Amino acid sequence: MRLNKIKVVELFAGVGGFRVGLELSSNKFETIWANQWEPGKKVQHAFDCYVSHFGVSCNHVNEDIANVKHSIPPHNLLVGGFPCQDYSVARTGAQGIEGKKGVLWWHIRDILDLHRPNFIVLENVDRLIKSPGSQRGRDFAIMLRCLNDMGYGVEWRVINAAEYGYAQRRRRVYIVAFRNSTEYFMEIAESVCAKGKDIIYSQQYSKGFFSSIFPTQNKINDNKNSVSWIDEMKYADLIALSNDYTIPLFNSGIMINGQVISGEIIPTECRPVTLREIRHKEPVDEKYFLNGSLKKWQYLKGAKKIPRIRPNGEPYYFSEGGMCFPDDLDKPARTMLTSESSVNRSTHVIEDAVTGRLRLLTPVECERLNGFADDWTNTGMPEKFRYFTMGNALVVPIVEKIGQRLLEIM
C-alpha cells in the first residue's frame, strides 16, 4: 500500500539535521524542497554536504532565500533553524510595516503567508524569548503576533538536550505552530479555555505537543509565569507591539487566539550520555593533541577579573568564572560553538582514552554530540568547517522525537 507522505520544506538546512531527524522518526516524511545558503562564502560546504547525502536535485537550492522563496512548492510541514536577530519593526511609508533587521524571519513569514502549511517547526537559540535585553520578550512576541495574524496557534519549549538523555548541554527553543483549521488547534484551544495558566504546569495536560516526549515535573514557580494578549485588541498593529511590549516570556508557553500563556517549567531529567561514552576508544591522530605549554589554555579556562575602561572613561572590571580543565568526562559536553577546536575558552579539551594526554575533540566526536552518524561531515570540506557546521547544527534525536509526535497529530 502506498504511504500518504507528509510533504516537508526545510529552510536554512545546514547539513540536514531536521531532515535526518524526521526521516529517522518515519518514512512518511518526504522533503520536497530544501534551501541552504551561507552568505559571504565562496564555497558552500554545508550545502555540498547536504547534497552528498540526499542527492543532486533541482529542489535542493543553494541561493539566498530572499531570491527563491516564491518558488517553494506547496507543503504540509515547514521546518528550519534560523539566527536570533533583532525583529523590531518600523513603518516605511507606502510599504507599510517592515522589519528593520532579522530579515530571515520576514522571509519565513512571506512563505507562510503564501502557502499556509498546517504545521511549522522552528528552532532557535534560547535567548530569542528574552530578546532584546532592553525590552525582554519583544522579538518573540512579534513572531507570535505574525503567526496569530495568519491563523496559527503556537507552543514553544526551551529544551536542554542533556536533560533528556543526550550528550550535550545544548539549550534551544523549539517552536511548533499549527493552523486554526486543524483538529489539534481545536483541542488545544479547548484546553486553554478550561485550564488557563495552569495548562503550563499540569501533568494531566496530555494533549500538549511537548508533554509526552519531553516530560516535566508538576511544579509551579509563582514568580515566573505570565498571561498576556498580543492581538489587535491589545496592540493595534506590529508597530504598537514593537514599541510597547513589556510582558516577560519563559521557557515554555502557548499562544492561542492572541492569548499568550507562559511559565517556567522544570524538566523530568534522565541520565545523559557522557563525554566518556562518545569519546574514541581507539587511537586518534596526533594533530588533535595539545603539545607544549598549557599556560594559554589554563589562562583561557581560568577565573579572571580584569580592569577595563568604558568608552565614557568609567573604570570597571571584566569578570568570568573558572571552567573545568580538562572537561569532565563523566558529564555531557557543554554547548558546542562554531569555534570548536580553535584556541579559545569555549573549546572542549578532554583526556585521551588511549594515551591519557590532553586533546581536542575530533570532528567525529562532535558529530556524535549532535546525534549524527560518524563522518557525516566528512564530505570534502576542510576540517575547520566540519567543526563549524556542527556548532551550527541541532541535536538530531530531539527532532526525531518531534517527528514522532507530529505523526500522532497530523
Q: Assign 392 to helix, strand or coil.
A: helix
pLDDT tens per residue across span 334-391: 999 999 999 999 999 999 999 999 999 999 999 999 999 999 999 999 999 999 999 9
Q: Which residues pair with 99 in a beta bridge?
A: 89
Q: Assign 247 to helix, strand or coil.
A: coil
Identify the pLDDT of residue 1: 38
Q: What per-residue string of b and e applies to 251-277 under the rule 16 or more CB within 10 Å gives b?
A: bbbbbbebbbbbbbbebeeeebbbbee
Identify the pLDDT of residue 82: 83
- Given a contact cutoff of 8 angstroms between Cβ atoms, the answer to whether 389 and 49 are in contact is yes
Q: Assign 51 to helix, strand or coil.
A: helix
Identify the pLDDT of residue 62: 96
Q: Assign 34 to helix, strand or coil.
A: strand
Q: Any alpha helices (H) in 224-327, and if so which ranges?
A: 238-244, 275-278, 295-301
pLDDT tens per residue across span 348-358: 999 999 999 99
Q: Assign 11 to helix, strand or coil.
A: strand
pTM of the model: 0.92
Residue 304, all three cell numbers: 579572571
Q: Are strands 29-35 and 6-11 parallel, antiparallel or unpaired?
A: parallel
Identify the pLDDT of residue 109: 94
146 flagged as catalytic: no
- Given a contact cutoff of 8 angstroms between Cβ atoms, the answer to whether 274 and 169 are in contact is no
184-191, long-range: CB < 8 A, 24+ apart? 184/409, 185/153, 185/256, 188/153, 188/155, 188/254, 188/256, 189/153, 189/256, 189/257
- Given a contact cutoff of 8 angstroms between Cβ atoms, the answer to whether 205 and 199 are in contact is yes
Please pick, among 84, 146, 193, 324, the residue that the annotation labels catalytic.
Answer: 84
Q: Which of 301, 362, 295 is nearest to 326 (CA)?
A: 301
Amino acid at site 127: R
- Given a contact cutoff of 8 angstroms between Cβ atoms, the answer to whether 390 and 366 are in contact is yes
Burial tier of 208 (Cβ tally within 10 Å: 0-12, 13-18, 19+): buried
C-alpha radius of gyration, the chain, whole number: 22
d(CA 69, CA 111): 6
Which helix (DSSP H) or strand (DSSP E) does residue 195 occupy? helix 183-195
Residue 93 φ/ψ region, left for φ over 0, alpha for ψ in the -120 to 50 degree band, beta for the rest: left
The tens-digit pLDDT sequence of the chain (410 residues) is: 345 899 999 999 999 999 999 999 999 999 999 999 998 889 999 999 999 999 988 899 999 999 999 999 999 999 999 876 666 665 555 444 455 545 788 899 999 999 999 999 999 999 999 888 888 888 899 999 999 999 999 999 999 999 999 999 999 999 999 999 999 999 888 877 766 666 665 544 456 899 889 998 876 667 888 889 999 999 999 999 989 999 999 999 999 999 999 988 889 989 999 999 999 999 999 999 998 889 999 999 999 999 999 999 999 998 989 999 999 999 999 999 999 999 999 999 999 999 999 999 999 999 999 999 999 999 999 999 999 999 999 999 999 999 999 999 98
